[in-house]
Structure 1
Amino acid sequence: MGSVAVDTEDEAQVSSSLENTEIERSKVGIMRALVEREDPSAKELDDLMIRRFLRARELDIEKGSSLLLKYLNWRREFVPNGSISPSEIPNDLAQNKLFMQGVDKMGRPIVTVFGGRHRPSQGSLEEFKRFMVFSLDKICSRMPPGQEKFLCIGDFEGWGYTSSDIRGYLAALSILQDFYPERLGKLFIVHVPYLFMSAWKAVYPFIDKKTKKKIIFVEDKNLTSTLLADIDESQLAETYGGKLPIVPIQDC
């Protein structure tokens, strides 16, 4: 009798999951029609992209459509040529602060950001925004089939006042949340100096609740073991006890 009960419960869960999938698929179709009516260029978007914007707004079709239309308008204005060229972001690339190499155990590309190398005084806010778009486009283009998210290690070793950039952080957060929703899978924040927490407190209120759940602060003593729980040693950067050399984002 117990076995039958478990099987019935499993069947109910599968049925519920399939029903939810059908509801989501239906909502994607409705959202596509609404967005295409307002902006015909949306016809070029695949269903996965529409689904990410829908999920970012808790499956609310109206809110998801509004966010997607906002994205399409922003993309035309901010990236008129379709992509950001390295020649448009020379100062940020020269800081050698963002790397990409390997995948985690779920197949998500691994991105490593060295926040202590960021020098806002050596560039401009607009260039940093372009750098963010350049990097996120590069990350998304390197996702394996069936994968939509990436894992990020934010390393703040050496971070100080010369790296502090509240306006830049807020701009980066806005770009990630509004224009690349449902792309971040997990963010490990490591080697955190005490000074950084003042900047974190300024940014934290602007992080949406879904993103907050993906952020994990890691103590130095638990660093390697924590990362190895999500990343095989063969895919983890050498600097964190793994075997993989990391590659600057512009060379990926």
Structure 2
Amino acid sequence: MSYPRSSKSDPTTKKQAAAAAVASEEQQAKMINEVRELLRPAEMPGFLTDSTVRRFLHARSWSAAQATKAVKETVKWRRQYRPDEIRWDDIPGREHEVKRAYIADYLDKDGRTVVVTVPAIKSQISAKEQVKLLVYTLESCTAGSENGQESVVWIADFRGWTLSSTPLAQSRQSMNIIQKHYPGLIAAAILFDPPKIFESFWKMLSYFIEPELEKKVKFVYTDNPESQRIMADMFDMEKLDSAFGGRSASGIDVAKYSERMRTGDQIRGLR
């Protein structure tokens, strides 16, 4: 089964390709400094590391003006939402128990963080709290990263998924947060075993996905040779969970995972 890509045009593709060729390390450094000059007085220096500014520049075709505008919008959002203050224990524990979303304890072959979500599992918390968990997960993925550009591989397990599993409005909100406030973070998004009924949902959702992110989406299916090659190319099969074709049967231990996330909170200065 394969899903059609959206028919929306991509007016930025040629511009991005040309800009990418221009962006040498020296030029990137100059553009980062240009954004910082445009942001004066300095905005959230603790948040706006060079790697973060670089992600915004990359997402805006290396336009300092557009990247600065995007950064200002994100700074405004961060002041209001305070994502850097969300702790593991701010999310009701019953949601963690069902293992609907977690950061895996292994990396992919390129050393990238692996996030796993299982949309078919019924959430135990409100839509507002689900968004908070998403933001907490994204913050945890970026914390302490020297180079956040394309540093996350997202696996969404769609086995058992139905149209009622994921409201479109909530999915749009999640995509908006990822694309607007954490641009360039996702290296690949693996949609694992989506059912036939997912096709109509994807047609609607893909309209709201930026071309740069949409081209990183990979549809992967159990017992499909090409899908098996995709997973083997990206992951150490000894570490990858058996649910996704790997040979690890350890799964996720909620108690150990909770301890790992609380340790991460302490490293970020949260108590």
- Give yes or no for contact 1:86–1:93 (8 Å, CA) kept in 2: no
Q: Note the 1:59-74 alignment, pairs <5 A.
A: 59-74=62-77
Q: Does 1:217 align with 2:248?
A: no
- Give yes or no for contact 1:116–1:156 (8 Å, CA) kept in 2: yes
Task: Give the distance between the partners of 2:259 and 2:212, measured in 1 at CA.
Answer: 31
Greater mean deviation of Cα atoms: 94-103 or 22-31:
94-103
Which structure 1 segments of 5+ residues have no match?
1-15
Corresponding position of 2:9: none
Cα deviation, residue 160, structure 1: 1.3
Q: Note the 1:89-108 alignment, pairs <5 A.
A: 89-90=91-92, 92-99=95-102, 100-108=104-112
Which structure 2 segments of 5+ residues have no match?
1-19, 261-271
Greater mean deviation of Cα atoms: 102-111 or 233-242:
233-242
Task: Give the distance between the partners of 1:57 and 1:146, measured in 2 at CA.
Answer: 17
Corresponding position of 1:111: 115
* Same amino acid, percent of matched pairs: 23
Q: Note the 1:24-103 alignment, pairs <5 A.
A: 24-37=28-41, 39-42=42-45, 45-79=48-82, 82-90=84-92, 92-99=95-102, 100-103=104-107
The 3 A distance-change label for structure 1 pair 185 and 118 is farther
- Give yes or no for contact 1:191–1:219 (8 Å, CA) kept in 2: yes
- What's the secondary structure of 2:28's corresponding residue? helix
- Give yes or no for contact 2:100–2:121 (8 Å, CA) kept in 1: yes
2:177 to 169, 175, 178: 175
- Give yes or no for contact 2:222–2:245 (8 Å, CA) kept in 1: no
Q: Deviations over 1:14-46 (max 9, x none)?
A: xx9797322221111010111133x54347622
1:125 to 120, 124, 127: 127
Corresponding position of 2:187: 185
- Give yes or no for contact 1:103–1:110 (8 Å, CA) kept in 2: yes
Q: Note the 1:124-163 alignment, pairs <5 A.
A: 124-141=126-143, 146=147, 148=149, 149-163=151-165
The 3 A distance-change label for structure 1 pair 242 and 142 is farther
Cα deviation, residue 192, structure 1: 0.7
Cα deviation, residue 236, structure 1: 1.1
The 3 A distance-change label for structure 1 pair 95 and 140 is same
Greater mean deviation of Cα atoms: 215-224 or 89-98:
89-98
- What's the secondary structure of 2:161's corresponding residue? coil
**Equivalent AA in structure 1 for residue 91 of structure 2:** I
Corresponding position of 2:10: none
- Give yes or no for contact 1:113–1:154 (8 Å, CA) kept in 2: yes
- Give yes or no for contact 2:116–2:157 (8 Å, CA) kept in 1: yes
Task: Give the distance between the partners of 1:33 and 1:45, measured in 2 at CA.
Answer: 13
The 3 A distance-change label for structure 1 pair 52 and 229 is same
The 3 A distance-change label for structure 1 pair 178 and 154 is same
CA RMSD, 1 decimal: 2.5
The 3 A distance-change label for structure 1 pair 214 and 64 is same
The normalised TM-score by structure 2 is 0.77
Corresponding position of 1:11: none
Cα deviation, residue 112, structure 1: 1.4
The normalised TM-score by structure 1 is 0.82
Cα deviation, residue 199, structure 1: 1.7
Greater mean deviation of Cα atoms: 122-131 or 230-239:
122-131
Cα deviation, residue 97, structure 1: 0.8
The 3 A distance-change label for structure 1 pair 43 and 218 is closer
- What's the secondary structure of 2:111's corresponding residue? coil
The 3 A distance-change label for structure 1 pair 250 and 32 is farther
Cα deviation, residue 190, structure 1: 1.1
Corresponding position of 2:12: none
Corresponding position of 1:9: none
Corresponding position of 1:238: 242
- Give yes or no for contact 2:101–2:116 (8 Å, CA) kept in 1: yes
Q: How many residues align?
A: 232
The 3 A distance-change label for structure 1 pair 60 and 213 is same
- What's the secondary structure of 2:155's corresponding residue? strand
The 3 A distance-change label for structure 1 pair 44 and 238 is closer
The 3 A distance-change label for structure 1 pair 68 and 250 is farther
Cα deviation, residue 162, structure 1: 3.3
